[in-house]
DNA sequence: CGTTGCATTGAAATCCCTCAAGCGAGGTGG
DNA sequence: CCACCTCGCTTGAGGGATTTCAATGCAACG
């Protein structure tokens, strides 16, 4: 618990039973983090695994010269910070104010040692992350700015069930660092799509998917 | 065995005991594949897992318009084609002529159901792949052509223990598709590094790492 | 000895980035 | 209540890294 000694900073942890994955419930506690607050740091011992209860988190890597890359956004229900090694390989931060459930890793390890089906479900989490990373890889390696942005919009839309109105919980900088672009290119691409009538931009945190087929086409 | 009915095409499979990971030995068989031959296809049922015995394989994804991305090169000892789902998510091909060990997936599943420590080792394979993918992600998102090529050279060098002389088993096109560049950019970057005296290029399939510190610096 | 398949090189074009300014919403204080 | 500030987003102009297109080189092979 070292990292969270100073609980005043984070809001009081609340003990609870956390469903890590379907059918695997473990004792844990929830904490709230404010916008941009660090949840855990790269290289820190991976003593917990984390599950988003409310809000959105991001996992980030930063190069020495400041170039930043967001590997994933984590929405309600997503598990992150699961490691086989001793240390975290990313920094995790709150995108918006969020409530996060923490599960002590030894507790998870114990269940995994005993229960094959639980072990399988935990493995599936890693496998899922791998698939996402591989899709992301293809995106970054071979897709144009427009394709990246459109893919991103469809992805976010699929993860937040709101019809054609999509809320973007993250800033343009976050989107840019996720897509391997600059903030300006993201902005220009969005306004370009708006000019073509493909999307609407009532404000900078909301997108209306006016022409999904066109977006899907652009997402290639 | 449907996919490999036509064994004549591949060379006769040879039954053997395969070490999937340290301490997990399973019955399987080896087959040889010639340069550029397909080992398995995307969307095909994932009935086997694969381990490189000799040579090098690649896992590939292709977009409808022909853009290609290589997610990884697999060298001697590497396991690939491990899926939790029903189907492969990549195409796998032989980079050079290679000998591949195939393990029937049900055999693996049985061991994983019984033996927790084996399950853990198999999970570690997925976890390792995830780490590699995440490093690759950062490379593609935020690094320049020179940085990518230098990182690649160091990576290959680390995987083939030969001092400062590195053999490149793959073509320029393979390197380009792995690094998210074009073949011309890879070629230009290499000749640039040669002109600076950082590397030597006795021929297009061999690289001499003349100044490792400089390469490491360029790899950022 | 021509063919074929990479690899290299050059010139031009393009896409995205960099730098710089302007805009707008939200918050603060006079 | 409004001026002012701040922060994030947008927009523009210019530049640069990488791609594209095209030609040449080179080694292996029949």
Query: Residue A7's pLDDT band (boundaries 50, 70, 90)?
Result: very low
Q: Please list every residue in chain A whose beta carbon sits closer than 8 Å to the beta carbon of residue B173.
A: none
Q: pLDDT tens across A100-132, in order?
A: 999 999 999 999 999 999 999 999 999 999 999
Helix (H) or strand (E) holding B68: strand B68-74
A84 shares contact with chain B (CB less than 8 Å): yes
CB pairs under 8 A between A and B: 98
Ordered structural domains, chain B, with CATH: 3-138 (2.60.120.10), 143-219 (1.10.10.10)
Nearest-angstrom CA–CA distance, A50 and A64: 26
Q: Please list every residue in chain A whose beta carbon sits closer than 8 Å to the beta carbon of residue B137.
A: 69, 71, 133, 136-137, 140
Nearest-angstrom CA–CA distance, B54 and B78: 10
Centre a 10 Å sphere on the Cβ of residue B217 and count the other Cβ atoms it contains. 12
Q: pLDDT tens across B107-154, in order?
A: 999 999 999 999 999 999 999 999 999 999 999 999 999 999 999 999
Question: For residue A191, which of A164, A180, A183, A174 has the smallest C-alpha distance?
Answer: A183
- The mean of the pLDDT values for chain A is 93
pTM equals 0.94
Nearest-angstrom CA–CA distance, A10 and A74: 19
pLDDT value, residue A108 = 97
**Does B84 contact A123 at a Cβ distance shorter than 8 Å?**
yes
Q: DSSP code of B90? A: S
pLDDT at A8 over 80: no
pLDDT value, residue B206 = 96
Query: Residue A11's pLDDT band (boundaries 50, 70, 90)?
Result: low
Backbone angles phi, psi at B28, to 5 degrees: -165, -165
Q: Please list every residue in chain A whose beta carbon sits closer than 8 Å to the beta carbon of residue B115.
A: none
Cβ pair A118, A109 in contact under 8 A: no
Tokens matching residue B123: 């999970």
pLDDT at A12 over 80: no
Q: pLDDT tens across A59-92, in order?
A: 999 999 999 999 999 999 999 999 999 999 999 9
Tokens matching residue A194: 């708006």
Rounded-to-10 torsion of CA B110, B113, B118, B123: 110
- A130 CB below 7 A from strand D atoms: no
pLDDT value, residue A6 = 40
pLDDT value, residue A14 = 80
Nearest-angstrom CA–CA distance, B133 and B125: 12
Nearest-angstrom CA–CA distance, B155 and A122: 30
Q: pLDDT tens across A13-28, in order?
A: 788 899 999 999 999 9
Q: pLDDT tens across B156-192, in order?
A: 999 987 789 999 999 999 999 999 999 999 999 999 9
Cβ pair A168, A207 in contact under 8 A: yes
- B74 CB below 7 A from strand C atoms: no
Nearest-angstrom CA–CA distance, B199 and A36: 43
**Which nucleotides in chain C lie closer than 7 A to a protein CB?**
6-11, 15-20, 25
Q: pLDDT tens across B1-57, in order?
A: 444 544 434 455 788 899 999 999 999 999 999 999 999 999 999 999 999 999 999
Classify B99 as helix, strand or coil.
strand
């Amino acid at each position: 618990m070292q990292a969270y000694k100073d609980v005043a900073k984070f809001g009081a942890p609340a003990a609870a039973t956390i469903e890590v994955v379907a059918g695997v419930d473990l004792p844990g506690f929830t904490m709230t983090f404010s916008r941009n607050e660090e949840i855990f740091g790269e290289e820190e011992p991976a003593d917990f695994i984390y599950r988003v209860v409310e809000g959105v988190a991001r996992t980030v890597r930063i190069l020495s010269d400041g170039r930043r890359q967001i590997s994933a956004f984590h929405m309600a229900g997503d598990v992150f910070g699961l490691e086989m090694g001793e240390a975290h390989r990313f920094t995790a931060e709150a995108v918006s104010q969020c409530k996060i459930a923490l599960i002590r890793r030894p507790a998870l390890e114990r269940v995994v040692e005993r229960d094959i089906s639980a072990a399988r479900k935990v493995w599936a989490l890693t496998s899922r992350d791998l698939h996402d990373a591989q899709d992301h890889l293809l995106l970054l390696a071979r897709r144009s700015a427009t394709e990246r942005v459109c893919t991103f919009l469809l992805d976010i839309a699929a993860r937040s069930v709101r019809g054609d109105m999509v809320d973007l919980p993250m800033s343009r900088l976050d989107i840019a660092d996720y897509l391997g672009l600059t903030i300006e290119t993201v902005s220009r691409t969005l306004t370009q799509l708006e000019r073509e009538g493909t999307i609407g931009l009532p404000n900078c945190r909301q997108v209306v998917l006016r022409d999904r087929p066109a977006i899907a086409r652009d997402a290639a």
